[in-house]
Structure 1
Amino acid sequence: MTGTETQGPKHKRNMTRRNVVVAGGAAVAAVGAGGGIAVNAFAGETSKGGDAAGSSTSSGASETCYKLTSETTEGPYYIDADKIRKDITEDREGIPMTLRIKVIDSETCKPIRNAAVDIWHCDALGLYSGYEDLSSGGGGGGTPPSGTPSDVPSGTPTGAPPGGGGGGHEEPTDDKRYLRGTWKTDKSGFVTFKTVFPGWYRGRCVHIHTKVHVNGEWTDAGYEGGNTCHTGQFFFDEESVLASAEVEPYSTSTTERTTLTEDTIYDQSGTTGGLLKLKYQKKNIAKGVVGSITVGVDPEATHEGTDDAVQPGASASASAS
């Protein structure tokens, strides 16, 4: 939970104007109400991580049908939804990944349509677009991880990683925007992104950042108004990360890696904490990964994730998000 959250079953809406600029002047109508794409089953695939459904449902109105998905820090490298698109890959190399997210009201279990969902994450070598000078990517001919690393930090790392940093938002240092995007949920609450499997950097396990914005309006200018009802992160099981580490360019990384159980942001609660359900060919993850998760939110809440806590791998200038 963050210091800026409000608590309780119902909350006063934060109606601070939030304006999404559509890149290249494209009409927001191009977003469409869809978002789901057909996903072919992989032969010999493995399925790891959280249950996409997340929790059993109940028809009883008085019973909770789904737990709220854990809130986390926003991190310093968020850029407010300036790319309205489903395919966020751009020119980044890496294992192709389809990420399918379902957003539901955690009290009623009903899908939330027309929500604006942001995702952003580092590339295969740990770099964030917009912040390449600050983020701590690493690569170039090192020995890839094999098995559980013996040199991973336990708890919060000591010392300053290259390009690390303290809590709080950082202003972008470049105009690159790869591996960032916003799309809206369809009538069933689904939104689908095409991206690449993220890499890792010092102090954090492999993860994807997300925000869910509701109660606003899609206009010709983008998405306006409403409130940010969820700020969280999605996580990857160790088996999938170790498999990715055998594939270029991940295999060239020389950056020390933090495991899922050692990460200080992931709360170890499985799907509720953001653990993805992953499907891929067990012997050939390079062909692609499908990740899915259901995110339970309180649409009346405000969760910006902008507390000032120092994050893992923190130095004095910018935090490892």
Structure 2
Amino acid sequence: MTETQGPAHKKDMTRRRMILTGGAVVAAAGVGAGFVATASADEETKSSGSRPGEGEACYRLTSETTEGPYYIDADKIRKDITEDREGIPMTLRLKVIDSDTCKPLKRAAVDIWHCDALGIYSGYESMSQGGGPGGGGTPPSGTPTDAPTDIPTDAPTGQPTGTPPSGGPGGGGGHSEPTDDERYLRGTQLTDQHGYVEFKTVFPGWYQGRAVHIHTKVHVGGKMTDAGYEGGHTCHTGQFFFAESAVLDSAKAEPYSTSTTPRTTLTEDTIYDQSGVTGGLLKLSYRKGRMARGVTGSITMGVDPDETHDGTDL
């Protein structure tokens, strides 16, 4: 499977939500000249409409995406997923609502996982496409590090006939089995009575073929056990994205500034559907010129708890 995405089913939000959201963004942007706020009212409200008798507006369904090759089933219930990873501190505030009833989803399990500041995924360090000062991330065991002395000079002929490998630099393909026991920058939490969860992490870096992103899954109908969250089904598999301006600001700080990996922009990404918040675009805030001190990201996910979207159905 390649990590491409068709249009997801979406619902319009009401004019009331559009006005409230717009006002919130304007208010945030006015908190001092040194305050940076990404996303806009236009990005959050591509269209509007009314639903008779409804007292509160609903967000549209959040876009579904593929799972990608680096998912590991929920096994760490925790708020702080940073462990020993260096990077810009980030607080990620998520709200999950039923896009049909507008009500918050209580006790839904929310997974997030993402690469570190240099593009490396825990559990897959030898497979990741990160690029630190040495380039290319951690080489697999047995991989030679010296440059070959017999580099071919002739152009290749013919077409490859084998089956392409799963995974790949773009983060697509089928699921890959973990190659190590690391689990940094991965975690799961249950939503509270208002549908909220909050994670402490670091601003992700980038790797070959993909814009900066965070993966997520929402599970409902299960229960907590000693082994973690079990049962139920996955009603949403998606990704969160970052405004280009924020990514450029992050690239000025270490260790992001040491990356040697060419960066894919948001408009070039093959997964982001360019639909703003519906497509997973986070609302970010931080102090201008002081991003290294910390970033806050937030988004509301509108999901259909009756559906099953495990990332393999696209």
* Counterpart among 62, 80, 96 of residue 89 in structure 2: 96
**Secondary structure class of the residue paired with 2:308:** coil
1:60 paired to 2:52: yes
The structural deviation recorded for 1:127 is 0.2
Q: Distance in 2 between matches of 1:218 and 1:91?
A: 27
Encode CA deviations 1:233-266: one digit per residue, 9 max, x unaligned.
Answer: 0000000000000000000000000000110100
1:173 paired to 2:182: no
Instruction: State the partner residue of 1:240.
Output: 246
* Counterpart among 275, 290, 314 of residue 281 in structure 2: 275
* TM-score using structure 2 length: 0.75
Counterpart contact for 1:74–1:304, Cα < 8 Å: yes
Instruction: State the partner residue of 2:38.
Output: 48
* Counterpart among 100, 112, 127 of residue 134 in structure 1: 127
CA RMSD of superposed structures (Å): 3.1
Counterpart contact for 2:89–2:295, Cα < 8 Å: yes
1:3-82 equivalence runs, <5 A: 44-49=34-39, 54=44, 60=52, 65-82=58-75
**Secondary structure class of the residue paired with 1:271:** helix
* Counterpart among 275, 298, 305 of residue 304 in structure 2: 298
Encode CA deviations 1:97-116: one digit per residue, 9 max, x unaligned.
Answer: 00000000001110001000
Larger Rg: 2
**Secondary structure class of the residue paired with 2:38:** strand
**Secondary structure class of the residue paired with 2:267:** helix
* TM-score using structure 1 length: 0.73
Give the AA of the match of 2:296. Answer: V
Question: For structure 2, which runs of at least 5 residues remain unmatched after alignment?
Answer: 12-30, 136-163
**Secondary structure class of the residue paired with 1:103:** strand
Instruction: State the partner residue of 1:319.
Output: none
**Secondary structure class of the residue paired with 1:286:** helix
Q: Distance in 1 between matches of 2:32 and 2:110?
A: 27
Question: For structure 1, which runs of at least 5 residues remain unmatched after alignment?
Answer: 10-40, 143-158, 310-321
Q: Distance in 2 between matches of 1:8 and 1:236?
A: 21
Q: Are the structure 2 counterparts of residues 50 and 79 from structure 1 closer, same or farther at C-alpha, using a change threshold of 3 Å?
A: farther
The structural deviation recorded for 1:163 is 6.4
Instruction: State the partner residue of 1:249.
Output: 255
Counterpart contact for 1:94–1:250, Cα < 8 Å: yes
Give the AA of the match of 2:110. Answer: V
How many pairs are equivalent?
Answer: 258
Q: Distance in 2 between matches of 1:100 and 1:58?
A: 28
Q: Distance in 1 between matches of 2:172 and 2:68?
A: 9
The structural deviation recorded for 1:66 is 2.0
Counterpart contact for 1:2–1:305, Cα < 8 Å: no
Counterpart contact for 1:140–1:254, Cα < 8 Å: yes
The structural deviation recorded for 1:54 is 4.7
